[in-house]
């Protein structure tokens, strides 16, 4: 008789199994409304605001005001050019690491900080509020888009996420903000052409986001400070000092274009300190580069002309931007490779451990036992110490297995293994399953009395399990144990200790089982 099994049409099967991967656009559009609703509604929920969260928000407001004020000072000292706008990167880095239910409050804090800072310097309220609103749009649009595309928390150590941040926040959102800010300023206070004002703001805004935001995000993670631990501190300071020294040397020379000398130093930081070190390095070097240029020092002074400060600053900003867009991806790739290396090492270690573990009892297996016994014998010989070995066997286990079945036999062996593991762990020994129902225990630097105590404790522990055994004289499952202890001598090997323990086990069996014998 032939049995025919109906099978589904392969084409139908493939059609059912096909799961189209959602596009970035579909993910953004489908999740945008729920995200916006969560941001808006969560801000007014009392559960979103603990005392610590409120205090943190107040500190952010103060810090953002200071950063806005510093950005304005830098602009006033460099012919009105926003050399590096600090506050947007700060607010973005602090906001993206918070629960989304607090985002609206951080948005308002940034808006307030920028407005206050502008008004301190004499800008009318309408102008200050409009420009500040443009800055806040940059922060919020960056957070929303990056969260919708890459999820949260934002992990800049991953290459795709970092590139997304550079494209969306550093290039895109800053361009939108600069365009809106320039338009609003010209609308209220007609002055230079729109494109000129846009250019004056864009590069500084872009640098602020690229330099400050990654640093703020990473500083809030405990792993960032690992490079400043006592053991690593000297190495970290030496590596970070190198690009700063090179930058100082390059910008103290106003006669030669030596900017290219700085990139080997950047590469060193990326290789030695990864993305966190690169973020610190870019921050420090950018400030030094722009500071030297504004003060009239460095290779950019080769750009001749009395009224070329604006042009020199733009070139300095472009240099910093190239360094950012070059070194951040390099550092991210290195971190990805290191994560892959660590993952492979962990997997190798895990599988190596599995190769030395008995699957049933989770004790070390025969291979692990052989390696451990050989090492213990060598150490005992070199240190002139004694070595004890206990071999035990489940009594009449075949009959037990026949009466309860293989599953019951497996459960019995697991229970015996647990008893052995607990007792041997307390005795600082090593236990393994070396055969079907056979186990072994290694006790380094143990006396004969101590070895017999451990063996007897195992025997009593197995009896106390009370596993019914109809073929056993005791009525329960028992074990027999053979103990051997020797001080290794030249010409002897661990196999000799094994033979003695086997002989003792055989004697325990002959004497009626459920007992300990020694050789």
Using one digit for the tens of pLDDT, what is the confidence trace for 210-227? Answer: 999 999 998 888 788 888
pLDDT for res 23: 67
- Residue 18 — very low, low, confident or very high, per pLDDT cuts 50/70/90? very low
- Residue 101 — very low, low, confident or very high, per pLDDT cuts 50/70/90? confident
pLDDT for res 6: 40
Instruction: Taking residues 164-170, report their average pLDDT.
Output: 93
pLDDT for res 190: 79
pLDDT for res 13: 43
pLDDT for res 3: 37
pLDDT above 80 for 1: no
Coil/strand/helix, residue 432: strand
pLDDT above 80 for 39: no
**Which fold would CATH assign to domain 366-518?**
Alpha-Beta Plaits (3.30.70)
pLDDT for res 307: 67
Measured CA to CA, the distance from residue 128 to residue 185 in angstroms comes to: 9
Percent of the chain with pLDDT over 90: 45
pLDDT above 60 for 478: yes
- Residue 104 — very low, low, confident or very high, per pLDDT cuts 50/70/90? confident
More reliable by pLDDT, 85 or 479: 479
Cβ partners under 8 Å of residue 364, min gap 6: 356, 357, 358, 372, 430, 431, 432, 433
Task: State how far the alpha carbon of 251 is from the alpha carbons of 254, 255, 301, 509, in Å.
Answer: 7, 10, 9, 87
Q: Are strands 516-518 and 479-486 parallel, antiparallel or unpaired?
A: parallel
Q: What average pLDDT is seen over the chain?
A: 87
Residue whose token pair is 């600069």 = 178
Cβ partners under 8 Å of residue 243, min gap 6: 262, 265, 266, 268, 269, 281, 284, 285
Sign of CA dihedral 60, 147, 326, 240: positive
pLDDT for res 442: 96
pLDDT above 60 for 15: no
* Bridge partners, residue 432, by sequence: 440
Specify the pTM: 0.66
Please say whether the beta carbons of 208 and 88 come within 8 A: yes
More reliable by pLDDT, 481 or 156: 481
pLDDT above 50 for 22: yes
Helix axes of 103-120 and 87-95: crossing angle, nearest 10 degrees: 160
- Segment (H or E) for 392: strand 387-394
Kindly report, as residue ranges, where domains of CATH 3.30.70.270 are found in the chain.
Answer: 366-518
> 80: which DSSP letter?
T
Q: What are the structure tokens assigned to 126, written together?
A: 């309408």
pLDDT for res 437: 93
Cβ partners under 8 Å of residue 351, min gap 6: none
- Residue 433 — very low, low, confident or very high, per pLDDT cuts 50/70/90? very high
Q: What is the dihedral of CA 274, 327, 216, 118, to 10 degrees?
A: 160
pLDDT above 50 for 369: yes
Measured CA to CA, the distance from residue 143 to residue 30 in angstroms comes to: 17
pLDDT above 60 for 17: no
Determine if residue 445 is left, alpha or beta; phi over 0 gives left, psi from -120 to 50 gives alpha, anything else beta: left
Residue whose token pair is 């050019």 = 81
pLDDT above 50 for 4: no
Helices (H), 101-229: 103-120, 125-150, 159-165, 174-188, 194-219
pLDDT for res 81: 66
pLDDT above 90 for 86: no
**How far is CA 185 from its chain centroid?**
44
């Amino acid at each position: 008789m032939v049995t025919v099994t109906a099978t589904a049409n392969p084409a139908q099967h493939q059609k059912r199994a096909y799961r189209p991967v959602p596009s970035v656009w579909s993910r953004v559009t489908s999740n945008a409304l729920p995200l916006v609703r969560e941001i808006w509604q969560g801000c007014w929920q009392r559960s979103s605001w603990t005392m610590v969260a409120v205090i943190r928000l107040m500190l952010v407001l103060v810090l953002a005001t200071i950063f806005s004020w510093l950005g304005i000072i830098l602009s006033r000292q460099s012919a009105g050019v926003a050399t590096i706008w600090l506050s947007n990167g700060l607010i973005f880095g602090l906001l993206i690491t918070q629960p989304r239910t607090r985002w609206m409050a951080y948005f308002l804090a940034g808006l307030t900080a920028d407005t206050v800072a502008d008004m301190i310097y004499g800008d009318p309220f309408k102008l200050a509020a409009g420009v500040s609103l443009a800055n806040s749009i940059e922060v919020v649009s960056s957070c929303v888009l990056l969260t919708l595309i890459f999820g949260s928390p934002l992990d800049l150590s991953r290459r795709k996420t970092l590139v997304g941040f550079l494209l969306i926040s550093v290039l895109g959102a800053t361009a939108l903000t600069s365009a809106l800010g320039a338009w609003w300023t010209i609308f209220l206070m007609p002055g230079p052409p729109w494109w000129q004002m846009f250019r004056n703001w864009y590069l500084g805004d872009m640098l602020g986001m690229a330099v400050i935001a990654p640093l703020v995000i990473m500083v809030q993670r405990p792993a960032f400070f690992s490079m400043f631990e006592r053991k690593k501190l000297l190495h970290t300071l030496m590596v970070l000092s190198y690009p700063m020294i090179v930058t100082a040397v390059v910008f103290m020379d106003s006669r030669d274009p030596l900017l290219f000398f700085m990139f080997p130093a950047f590469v060193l930081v990326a290789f030695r300190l990864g993305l966190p070190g690169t973020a610190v390095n870019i921050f420090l070097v950018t400030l030094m580069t722009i500071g030297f240029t504004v003060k009239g020092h460095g290779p950019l002074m080769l750009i001749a002309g009395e009224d070329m400060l604006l042009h020199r600053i733009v070139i300095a900003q472009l240099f910093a931007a190239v360094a950012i867009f070059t070194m951040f991806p390099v550092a991210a790739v290195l971190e990805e490779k290191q994560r892959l290396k660590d993952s492979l090492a962990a997997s190798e270690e895990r599988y190596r451990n599995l190769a030395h573990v008995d699957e049933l009892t989770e004790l070390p297996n025969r291979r692990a036992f052989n390696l451990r016994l050989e090492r213990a014998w060598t150490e005992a010989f070199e240190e002139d110490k004694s070595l004890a070995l206990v071999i035990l066997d489940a009594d009449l286990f075949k009959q037990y297995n026949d009466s309860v079945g293989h599953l019951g036999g497996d459960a019995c062996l697991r229970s015996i293994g647990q008893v052995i593991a607990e007792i041997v762990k307390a005795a600082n020994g090593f236990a393994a399953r070396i055969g079907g129902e056979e186990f072994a225990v290694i006790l380094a630097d143990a006396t004969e009395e101590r070895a017999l105590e451990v063996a007897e404790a195992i025997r009593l522990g197995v009896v106390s399990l009370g596993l019914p055994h109809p073929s056993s004289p005791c009525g329960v499952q028992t074990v027999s144990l053979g103990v051997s202890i020797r001080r290794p001598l030249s010409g002897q090997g661990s196999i000799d200790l094994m033979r003695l323990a086997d002989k003792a086990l055989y004697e325990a069996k002959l004497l009626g089982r459920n007992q300990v014998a020694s050789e």
